[in-house]
């Protein structure tokens, strides 16, 4: 079985693939001080390491790559593929400096192309909100980075003494009748509007001829992005 690992700044997602379909998945908190042995003890309680014959790792936390390499060698005794510069993913990287592109953005683009075809836009709501674009030719052409939902909420509540912490959940209506509903409306509809605004702006630019075909955002991008986020 293939163990797919996505180490993000806040959370780590794990998925087991006995074939082409996902059979099991878990989501853990990312701890930058985690050691290979701690990973071994933790994952031994979640899955049968003897059944793992390969591991694919995408990590935005460089310090943890070495620990996953040690885990793969000592505990899983399985080959490890670390997504990064030089790894062939099937998607050409049309970026000024391909080494700057995070592995999470590359695997998002690969997965979106496989699931939806090209062109496609991925919107990943993580520590940062990432917009990643695959052109009609199936090439990764870049994207947009913006502050994430959780970071924005933490900054707002830390700096505004009279505001209370709220759950990230849609309110009954856009116009809030309470402080809590108003905050929830601003967060939910604010980030939904960000997606519509960024995708819509580039679509209009493409129609006016200000961007080449490779820069065009496909129609239905927001729906595809929300479907992906809902599946997580």
**Pairing label, strands 80-82, 120-125:** unpaired
Q: What is the CA radius of gyration of the chain?
A: 20
Catalytic-role residue among 6, 104, 124, 202: 104
Does residue 104 have an active-site annotation? yes
Sequence-separated (6 or more) residues with CB below 8 Å from residue 145: 128, 129, 130, 131
Residue 204 Cα distances to 91, 118, 121, 190, 197, angstroms: 26, 19, 15, 20, 10
CA angle 151–99–5, rounded 5-degree value: 60
The label of the residue with tokens 């790559």 reads 65
Q: What SS3 string covers 131-159?
A: EEEECCCCCEEEEEEEECHHHHHHHHHHH
Is the peptide bond preceding residue 119 cis, with omega within 30 degrees of 0?
yes
Query: How far is Cα of residue 115 from the mean position of the Cα atoms in its chain?
Result: 15
Catalytic residues: 104
């Amino acid at each position: 079985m293939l163990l797919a690992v996505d180490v993000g700044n806040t959370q780590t997602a794990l998925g087991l693939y006995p074939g082409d379909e996902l059979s099991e998945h878990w989501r853990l908190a990312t701890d930058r001080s985690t050691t290979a042995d701690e990973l071994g003890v933790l994952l031994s309680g979640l899955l049968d390491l003897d059944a793992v014959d390969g591991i694919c790792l995408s990590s935005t936390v460089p310090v943890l790559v070495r620990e996953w390499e040690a885990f793969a060698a000592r505990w899983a005794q399985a080959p490890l593929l670390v997504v990064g510069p030089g790894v062939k993913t099937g998607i050409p990287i049309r970026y000024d400096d391909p080494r700057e592109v995070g592995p999470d953005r590359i695997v998002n683009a690969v997965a979106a192309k496989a699931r939806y075809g090209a062109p496609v836009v991925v919107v990943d709501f993580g520590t940062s909100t990432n917009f990643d674009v695959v052109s009609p030719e199936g090439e990764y052409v870049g994207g947009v980075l913006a502050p994430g939902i959780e970071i924005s909420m933490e900054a707002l509540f830390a700096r505004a003494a009279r505001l209370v912490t709220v759950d990230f959940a849609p309110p009954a209506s856009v116009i809030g009748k309470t402080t809590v509903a108003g905050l929830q409306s601003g967060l939910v509809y604010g980030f939904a509007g960000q997606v519509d605004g960024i995708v819509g702006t580039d679509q209009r630019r493409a129609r006016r001829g200000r961007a080449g075909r490779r820069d065009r955002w496909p129609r239905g991008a927001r729906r595809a992005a929300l479907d992906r986020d809902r599946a997580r």
